[in-house]
Copies of this chain bind each other. A is one copy, B any other.
Amino acid sequence: MKCRTCRGPAIIDLPRHNANFCAEHFLELCRRQVQKAIDEHEMFSRDERILVAVSGGKDSLAVWDLLLELGYQADGYYIELGIGEYSDHSREITESFARERGLSLRVESLRDDHGFDVPTAAKVTGRVPCSACGLSKRHLFDRAARDGRYDVVVTGHNLDDEAAVLFGNALRWDVEYLSRQMPVLPAGNGFPRKAKPLVRLSERETAAWCIVRGIDYVIEECPMAAGNRHLQYKDLLNDLEEKSPGSKASFYAGFLDRMAPLLASTEHRGAVHRCVRCDAPTGGESDVCAFCRLVDRTKDRDPVPVEMLLSKKARLRLARQGE
């Protein structure tokens, strides 16, 4: 197996590109793909200040690392979600990453700063944990960007993530969600600009980036997400990808190329007013935004242990890991 670029020994095969690469030229490929995504979708410039939403997983650490490598100004922002040992571990990993490289990282804790955590919110609302988690992250990313006067919030969504979300939105033909599923969303109505520079890299590629670059990252999936629909769609797209390499990328790129322009006219973020409590933009009918309502509902509740919310299957798996 030889590197396509230098014919030296390859360390990774990429069936989608029908090629193999050595470590050096694999990193070059990743940099090129990320730069291409940034330029193609006019995500941000080198003069702008970027806030990277970091979780401690491979994608968010890779995107932070890549942006710095490419000469962008990027600070990190981590939210401790209170998902037991998983959160403890990811916080440690994220803080070490920033410390070792002398980077600026802001850390916020749902429990310490807002009085609740994801498992408790899930229990109180009776909805899946991913729902309260997503709501909280969106709200706090937006706020951190406003407070810190950042030009753009960057997330580590990769090609696999975007293709799976697209797949779910297409299965439901959710036209509003489809119209918003772009690699960059402009600022508007009080919301900051958002960008996803990893849309041209697969999950396997961001993991390989971290390994080659010696970046320590949280390997385990969030225990709350195990078996959710998003992961089912990922599996399904992986089956298709295995049968015809490149189909995942062409599914996503084809959407951006041919369908998104037809949906552009339907895009809107609704009539937006300000939350009377925290001043965040909110589109709902209530005077108070969904995050502040969640804070109210979870106030003074005893913390719910992660295990209580896991499916039987997930509990068994965790128990087996502990043996």
Measured between C-beta atoms, what is the minimum distance from A265 to chain B in Å?
8
Q: Are B171 and A257 in contact (CB under 8 A)?
A: no
Judged by a CB distance under 8 angstroms, whether A266 is at the interface is yes
Judged by a CB distance under 8 angstroms, whether A33 is at the interface is no
Measured between C-beta atoms, what is the minimum distance from A208 to chain B in Å?
26
Q: Are B266 and A262 in contact (CB under 8 A)?
A: yes
Measured between C-beta atoms, what is the minimum distance from A179 to chain B in Å?
10
Q: Are B171 and A259 in contact (CB under 8 A)?
A: no
In the complex, chain A residues 165-202 whose Cβ is within 8 Å of any chain B Cβ:
170-175
Partner of A262, one of B174, B175, B251, B257: B175
Give the docked Cα–Cα distance between A232 and B239 (Å): 11
Give the docked Cα–Cα distance between A236 and B171 (Å): 12
Q: What residue in chain B is nearest A247 (Cβ atoms)?
A: B171
Q: Are A173 and B236 in contact (CB under 8 A)?
A: no
- Residues of chain B contacted by A247 (CB below 8 angstroms): 171
- Residues of chain B contacted by A258 (CB below 8 angstroms): 173-175
The digit string for A228-253, where 1 denotes a CB below 8 A from any CB of B, is 00001000100110010001001100
- Residues of chain B contacted by A263 (CB below 8 angstroms): 262
Judged by a CB distance under 8 angstroms, whether A97 is at the interface is no
Q: Are A173 and B232 in contact (CB under 8 A)?
A: no
Give the docked Cα–Cα distance between A68 and B97 (Å): 72
- Residues of chain B contacted by A72 (CB below 8 angstroms): none
Judged by a CB distance under 8 angstroms, whether A86 is at the interface is no
- Residues of chain B contacted by A251 (CB below 8 angstroms): 171-173
- Residues of chain B contacted by A240 (CB below 8 angstroms): 171, 236
Q: Are A173 and B266 in contact (CB under 8 A)?
A: no
- Residues of chain B contacted by A239 (CB below 8 angstroms): 236
Measured between C-beta atoms, what is the minimum distance from A238 to chain B in Å?
12
Judged by a CB distance under 8 angstroms, whether A255 is at the interface is yes
Partner of A259, one of B175, B232, B250: B175
Give the docked Cα–Cα distance between A266 and B243 (Å): 31
Measured between C-beta atoms, what is the minimum distance from A255 to chain B in Å?
5
Q: What residue in chain B is nearest A179 (Cβ atoms)?
A: B262
Q: Are A173 and B259 in contact (CB under 8 A)?
A: yes
- Residues of chain B contacted by A262 (CB below 8 angstroms): 175, 262-263, 266
Indicate the member of A174, A236, A257, A259 with the most B CB atoms within 10 Å. Answer: A259
Indicate the member of A170, A239, A251, A263 with the most B CB atoms within 10 Å. Answer: A170
Q: Which residues of A contact B (CB under 8 A)?
A: 170-175, 232, 236, 239-240, 243, 247, 250-251, 254-255, 257-259, 262-263, 266
Identify the 9 closest CB pairs spanning chains A and B, nearest first.
A173-B254, A173-B258, A173-B259, A175-B258, A170-B170, A173-B255, A171-B251, A262-B262, A172-B254
A and B contact pairs by CB, cutoff 8 A, 10 listed: A171-B240, A172-B254, A173-B251, A173-B255, A173-B257, A173-B258, A173-B259, A175-B258, A262-B262, A262-B263
